[in-house]
Homo-oligomer: A and B are copies of this chain.
């Protein structure tokens, strides 16, 4: 029995085939979305990825991770925050009809949570919260060994939990939510603003703040990304360390609050920002521990499947169809 796993990310698309029960891909194809992508171009690229994979073989079922809100009961996409034209697309039925096999669609955070639970850092745990800290911050639940999606599929939105009501304003309109403080692009933006506004400021030892950051982008501040901030922090850049610590603080407060509320066994963290090294993880763990009540126990661990968590979760969806 062959299963087809699809991942519609905000900027990239991936498809993979696997034999049910196997942990090795039969084939794996990926591509970037077009610069002026819409739902149709995404679907066309995905069709070509599937075509390259299939070689005439028909899968028994399709599992799909979608980067945006989905009604998992109907498999209908609500919208994508990155790509226009996805509003109300019945992705599950569309794929089921086109390929003549059952399909199942859910949003990427829920699917990644399922992937980590079935195949990764959440194996054997009845309750866990998966958090991705990347372009955005989102989460997915496993409770009683099953995905918990909420009354209308909206559960898991730790990204817009307010942790500092006097913090900077987020696109969502609120101040100081976790995503505003911990996501890669916002971190990059804040660091860039400091460098632009205080170009001549020097630290205690006479060096300029953010010197490593400036060097990493050859002085072109527009090139600073979340990843650059992480790299600069790893190299000891004071400014980068400061903003990564703030990100870790925000995430730690969020995790501690969630631990008090739901008391899951494990938190599994994935996404680019979590690759920022032990300094970042230390802050996250310390602040989460301080924020949770002393009687509330939990572990915070790194995602085991990395960027493939949504694809492996899609395999789990296809297994259960």
Contacts and interface: CB of A to CB of B under 8 A. Distances in A.
A155 B265 CA distance: 11
Contacts of A291: 162, 174
B152 A253 contact: no
B153 A263 contact: yes
A7 to B, nearest CB: 22
Interface of A: 69, 78, 126-127, 139, 141, 143-144, 148-158, 160-166, 172-174, 253, 256-258, 260-265, 290-291, 293, 295-298
Contact of A151 (B127, B149, B260): B127
Nearest to A258: B261
A102 B141 CA distance: 34
B260 A161 contact: yes
B258 A297 contact: no
A296 to B, nearest CB: 5
Contact of A263 (B150, B256, B265, B296): B150
A interface, over-half SS: loop
Pairs A-B, 5 closest by C-beta atoms = A150-B263, A157-B260, A155-B263, A154-B263, A151-B265
Nearest to A167: B165
7 contacts: A139-B261, A151-B263, A151-B297, A154-B296, A173-B290, A174-B290, A261-B262
A126 B148 CA distance: 12
Nearest to A146: B144
Given A143-B143, A144-B148, 8 more contacts: A141-B262, A154-B263, A157-B260, A162-B256, A165-B253, A173-B290, A258-B261, A262-B262
A262 B155 contact: yes
Looking at A149, A165, A257, A295, which has the most chain B CB atoms within 10 Å of its CB? A257
B295 A158 contact: no
Contacts of A261: 139, 155-158, 161, 258, 261-262
Nearest to A148: B143
A160 B256 CA distance: 10
A125 to B, nearest CB: 9
A148 B146 CA distance: 13
Nearest to A264: B151
